[in-house]
Structure 1
Amino acid sequence: MRFLLKIVLFYLLSVNIHAQIERADSIMAAEYSIKSIAANTKYSDFGATFMGEKLVFSSTRPKRGIARRVWRGNNQPFLDLYIGDLKSNGEVENIKPFSEDVNTKYHDAFVSFTTDLKHVYFTSNDKVNRKIKSKSVKLFKGTVGANGEWRNIENLPFNSDGHDAGHPFISRDGKRIYFVSDMEGTLGDKDIFYVDISKGYYGAPVNLGPTINSPEKEYTPFIDGDLIYFSSNRPGGKGGFDIYVTKLDGSLPEPINLGSPINSKGDDISFIINSEKLQGYFSSNRSGGKGDDDIYTFVQKTTITICDQSVSGVVKDKVTQLPLNNALVSLIDSNGNKLRTISTLANGEFYFGLDCALDYTVEVSKNGFFGTTSGLETTNANGYEHNLELLIEEKEFVTRNGLEMLNVASIDFELNKANIKETSINTLGKVVRLLKKYPNMVIDFRAHTDSRGPDGLNLSLSQRRAVETITYIINQGVDPKRITGKGYGETRLLNNCSNGVKCRDAEHRINKRTEFIVVKKE
């Protein structure tokens, strides 16, 4: 079976081929020219990584004069690491195995060296009783000696028997290791994680998140500045595993497929690039290759263009011009799909990151208000920030619990009294204005309490509050025939916070309310 990685390192399941999905790119993929390196064999050669001016990769090729142990999984030799000299034309020469203290009797693959070449992180099998066990792929660290030998091999502390971990990439400063695992916290089948390193201690694994990882498999991360390259078999690719690029901070909504000729109908993985020379390597089992898996070299002919835009804005009351908090703002694509929904802050503000050269709709909704939308068209200008002021109009009437009522805030009273608080005078003014706007409207005022306190006292208190409120409105010139009212105490609770039930204060406040029910409007 081709693409040995699928069998050996992560026991992959079947790969589905999906149709290409068309989309505008917020990262404009570069153009590449590629070729298969002459050093490929009829065996599996893949997983290249830089080691200074040398290239390290994995292979099942036979060693000269040495009988190779064969893995029963595919009747091919176990993977070993090889090293060769890099040439300016992308070829790799003078290839030889790493020393025997580097290559074990089992699978060894996917390495990453620190910038000073003094330490190496690599993927290998964890053995028990000379047998490879399930979930045996682990990450290891070693010290690189003066002659290239690896010493002081240590099993990294975040490995676990119940999960695989592999495909390491160590950051340039050596303070963060990226890797692939199916450990707890995985969003899909296999995700990319990172662990911070400080003074020899390893932190807790962190998932790179849903804008990089998918419900499928992600493999072979490679970091270049603020970009991350990786492989995935997510829907929308050209075949099996495709190579993607996105911003490392996850700020872009989705990664961009590098397209042809980097990606093919086969499996394409292990992308690495020297950003100064714009030259690099990747591995593929595409048709036309020399072996099961081959290493390809490429030259990047154009630069990757990142186009990252944003929209920020504020939602306000159309009449008062005051900012509205907790309004729901949704970002919708040209197909009507809601991409994200957030709530406005206390100052009414919101923010979204955007792809370039796309059409969006920003939709606003809030209880008690008429919603609104605003179209938004992004350009190809990187870093452009759109600004929106979205005005929504408060409704005069709403329906709650099957009853039409005035859309006004609940009247506040002094504690255990019927005195109306000054903060509610504006609300009562709105009630009066609505009654004058609709001269035939008749309303019924209802005052409710929560269950705290004796039932009789609550009923009496709510009745006194109803009388106080109705009296205030009549004193503003409203015909007494147009308003009725009553206090209901705790007889009409909206939740289960009745006598003897322990509830939070916020739950009790739901029941402590007033309502202006519309009896007649016309």
Structure 2
Amino acid sequence: MNGEEDDFSYIVNEETKKGYFASNRKGGQGNDDIYSFVEKEPLDFTCHTNITGVVKDKKTGALLANATIKVYDTKKNLIASSQTDANGAFAMEGNCEDGNYKVVATKTDYDEGDKIFATVNAKDATGIEVVLAQTDKSAPIGTDLTKYLNIEPIYFDFDKHFIREDARISLNKVLAYLNEYPNVKIQVGSHTDSRANDNYNLRLSANRAKSTASYLVEQGIDEGRISFEGFGETQLTNDCSNGVPCTKEQHQMNRRSEFIVVK
């Protein structure tokens, strides 16, 4: 009805829904022609602009489905809203007012992202690309990754500091975590039970800490991300201190390595 040519003199009978308008559009019989029509559904004379684009993962570039999209004007009024489809694409109708607008995209497990675009002379806004970064879910400083990742502690045999086969399972989970969060730094803290003298146990725990850290470095973790320290028998997990009779299983609980997040 309202094309690029000169369309004017629109009139419609509200009862019969029959109407007329004049236009100089191509295909007519003269300069300005009269056209008839039947209004089968209410005509929308509101001006709309098309707003289309995609949402992508910042790291991988993957298109993100089911992201929520909202468009705001400079006064923070909500203009339109939608969701991305299976191909990460969105399409909405905006208003025709000239000015700047902001597309805001949100998605579970991602930080909010936005993009500014301008509407000029009621032209469509197409090809908008909003990039979202995954939310950093790394553990806070001071966290023991053994508890955070719900893994078995790294235990050692009596008077030994080599990495046991059963410990590799937990170590590989710590390794996977460090690969997932490349900015995280940890301190490996290793311990002994109360048997043997204090100085010997400090040296033994230091060797255990070094063996634990070395395993992670050998698997590709930058050694600058891992510090290590032995605490001997100063941080027992139970009451098995000097002179207290305990079972082998109780002493085993103290011969361990921990992984504390320091950055």
| Structure that is richer in strand per residue | 1
> Which bracket does the TM-score occupy, shorter chain normalised?
0.3 to 0.5
Larger RCO (CA under 8 A, 6+ residues apart): 2
Is the helix fraction higher in 1 or 2?
Answer: 2
TM-score (norm 1): 0.24
- TM-score normalized by structure 2? 0.42
